[in-house]
Amino acid sequence: MPRRLAILLSGRGSNLEAIARAVGRGEIRDAAIVAVVSDVPSAPGLARARALGLPAFAIDRVQFSTRRAYEGEVLRVLEAARPELLCLAGYMRILSPEFIGRYPGRILNIHPSLLPKHPGLNSQQRALEAGDTVAGCTVHRVEEGVDSGPVLLQRTVAIEPGDNVESLSRRILEEEHRAYPAAIARALEELPAQP
Ligand code: GRF
């Protein structure tokens, strides 16, 4: 039985694609992406998922009056797909404690900074403004609170003189595409397989 992954995203989907390609190359051993869910129907990541032949679900947040109702629909889709691990990949919503409680220790997120430095938005810009000499990315388990939770893996990127937000973000993203598949493989090894 392949290990079952679900991806939640809101935008571009380059991490989704990196994960899918790593699965395809066997770098995440014996795994399958069983659902890609986006809260934004127009997210390019959903189109990428479809192009990769993955099951893609748009669950438009604005069609639901409450977070509870929206998350209920996401949970319904996930319960049918039965993922062992949920991977947030540019998913721009904060999950409720109730949602997180349904997948304890089984939700991962990737963030473009060396957490605990620069949580939240515009991390690359804040690393530059702080005069940091090293930036990078972090894969962590999701707990309540923005970009908190135990770190699984970090990869560093040197900040060069003359770097701007675009150049630094591009190099961090390249490392994200290595870090996320590696962290997923590690997390799956540590998780007992589900029946
Ligand atoms: C990445 O930089 C990730 O770290 C952050 O959102 C961005 C998503 O990019 N959480 P993509 O949609 O995977 O291309």
Q: Is 13 in the pocket of ligand 1 (CB under 6 A)?
A: yes
Please give the distance of CA 61 from its chain centroid, rounded to a whole number. 18
pLDDT tens over the chain, length 195 residues: 899 999 999 999 999 999 999 999 999 999 999 999 999 999 999 999 999 999 999 999 999 999 999 999 999 999 999 999 999 999 999 999 999 999 999 999 999 999 999 999 999 999 999 999 999 999 999 998 777 899 999 999 999 999 999 999 999 999 999 999 999 999 999 987 776
> Which two three-digit tokens encode residue 187?
């997390």
Which of 37, 95, 110, 184 most suits a substitution to test ligand 1, by most atoms within 8 Å of the C-beta?
Answer: 110
> Which two three-digit tokens encode residue 49?
């998922």
Could you tell me the maximum CA-CA distance found in the chain, to the nearest angstrom?
52
Q: Is 112 in the pocket of ligand 1 (CB under 6 A)?
A: yes
Supply the residue whose CA is at minimum distance from atom 5 of ligand 1. Answer: 90
Residues known to be catalytic: 111
Residues β-bridged to residue 3: 31
How many C-beta atoms surround the C-beta of residue 20 within 10 A? 24
DSSP-derived secondary structure for 60-80:
-GGG-SSHHHHHHHHHHHHHH
Q: What is the pLDDT of residue 195?
A: 63
Q: What is the pLDDT of residue 148?
A: 83
Please give the distance of CA 86 from its chain centroid, rounded to a whole number. 8
> Which two three-digit tokens encode residue 148?
């908190």
Supply the residue whose CA is at minimum distance from atom 9 of ligand 1. Answer: 90
Tell me the CA–centroid distance for residue 195 and ligand 1, in Å: 31
Question: What is the H or E stretch that residue 109 is in?
Answer: strand 107-111
> Which two three-digit tokens encode residue 165?
């937000």
- The C-alpha angle with vertex 34 and arms to 28 and 35, in degrees rounded to 5, equals 120
Nearest ligand 1 atom to the CA of 18 is 13
Contact 154, 179 (CB under 8 A): yes
Q: Is 149 in the pocket of ligand 1 (CB under 6 A)?
A: no
Tell me the CA–centroid distance for residue 88 and ligand 1, in Å: 9
Residue keyed to tokens 């998350």: 71
Contact 7, 35 (CB under 8 A): yes
Supply the residue whose CA is at minimum distance from atom 10 of ligand 1. Answer: 90
